[in-house]
């Protein structure tokens, strides 16, 4: 439960946050002033919740504000803090990283997270040049960044080839303009390699896909050298655990399209055979 003592530091941080919109800050500033003037905190926070509710219901709050709104309304998801330490720490022996993009990063986390040997899956942004990108900036499609996942794994328990195989099963490799319902350049599918070994395996896999006759259209998945990966805001981490109903709806749509696509691909390969 938020009180004057616990909420004032949160308001101060959000008011200094460059990703928080002006109209969100206006509501926060009003609440901050009232609390400092010792207005009853229950009344102040209820007013703030009412003011933010229309944006929250339309999923139009900025990421850090959305996290705060979850806390404001007592939603358990608001208490789920992602531990980013493993991203910033130096990799010990046998720990490696794989980075992929392919539509909204919300739908790419769970399939990798459940693989034996995977230690962490982090949603984030890669491919652009501006520092500290936010979800709002990337979603406007003018930054060069894509939504991606960084998979940190123990190479003794799972190989890069296995992770690649999972990736191909999650995307439409013929769609360079996005994935499924996710449209825009920041949703394009890309394999970001971290070393020459990953590059060789990715290129071999892509060539094998091209020769399989599984798809009628060309394989357009990019293979690019990994640049700096910026972890996304806490709100976007482990989305499948926080917002199970919403995630399942998104996942269902993706699975339906992929099921039809894979069935059609198997039929094409059966009747036409692989390229010689």
Q: Is the pLDDT of residue 275 over 70?
A: no
Q: Give this prediction's pTM.
A: 0.90
Contact between 248 and 76 (Cβ < 8 Å):
no
What is the domain partition of the chain in residue ranges? 4-79, 85-266
Confidence of residue 215 (pLDDT cuts 50, 70, 90): confident
Query: Closest Cα to residue 233, out of 68, 90, 91, 76?
Result: 68
Tokens 């070393």 locate to 195
Confidence class for position 261, pLDDT limits 50, 70, 90: confident
pLDDT score recorded for residue 262: 66
pLDDT (0 to 100) of residue 276: 44
Cβ atoms of residues 201 and 256 within 8 Å: no
Tell me the mean pLDDT in the region 263-273. 65
CATH of domain 85-266: 3.30.1060.10
Paired residues of 153 in beta bridges? 96, 118
Residues acting as catalytic residues: 104
In the chain, helix, strand, coil percent, each to 5? 50, 15, 35
Query: pLDDT tier at 25 (50, 70, 90 boundaries)?
Result: very high
Average pLDDT, the chain: 92
Q: How large is the average pLDDT for residues 267-275?
A: 61
Specify the pLDDT at position 249. Answer: 87
Q: What is the pLDDT of residues 128-180, one digit of tens each?
A: 999 999 999 999 878 999 999 999 999 999 999 999 999 999 999 999 888 88
């Amino acid at each position: 439960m938020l009180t004057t003592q616990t909420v004032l530091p949160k308001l101060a941080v959000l008011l200094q946050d460059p990703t928080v919109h002006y109209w969100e800050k206006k509501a926060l500033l009003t609440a901050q002033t009232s609390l400092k003037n010792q207005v009853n905190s229950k009344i102040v926070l209820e007013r703030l919740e009412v003011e933010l509710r229309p944006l929250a219901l339309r999923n139009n709050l900025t990421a850090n504000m959305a996290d705060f709104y979850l806390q404001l309304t007592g939603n358990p998801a608001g208490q789920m803090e992602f531990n980013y330490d493993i991203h910033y720490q130096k990799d010990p022996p046998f720990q490696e990283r794989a980075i992929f993009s392919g539509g909204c990063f919300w739908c790419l986390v769970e399939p990798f997270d459940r693989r034996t040997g995977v230690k962490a899956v982090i949603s984030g942004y890669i491919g652009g040049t501006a520092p500290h990108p936010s979800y709002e900036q990337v979603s406007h499609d003018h930054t060069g960044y894509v939504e991606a996942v960084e998979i940190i794994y123990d190479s003794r328990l799972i190989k890069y080839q296995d992770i690649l195989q999972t990736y191909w099963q999650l995307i439409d490799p013929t769609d360079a303009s996005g994935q499924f319902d996710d449209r825009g350049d920041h949703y394009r599918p890309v394999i970001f390699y971290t070393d020459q070994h990953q590059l060789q395996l990715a290129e071999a896999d892509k060539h094998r896909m091209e020769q399989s006759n599984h798809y009628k259209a060309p394989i357009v998945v990019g293979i690019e050298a990994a640049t700096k990966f910026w972890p996304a805001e806490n709100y976007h981490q482990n989305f499948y655990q926080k917002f199970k109903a919403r995630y399942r709806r998104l996942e269902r749509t993706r699975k339906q399209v992929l099921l039809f696509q894979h069935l059609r691909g198997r039929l094409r390969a059966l009747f036409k055979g692989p390229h010689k």
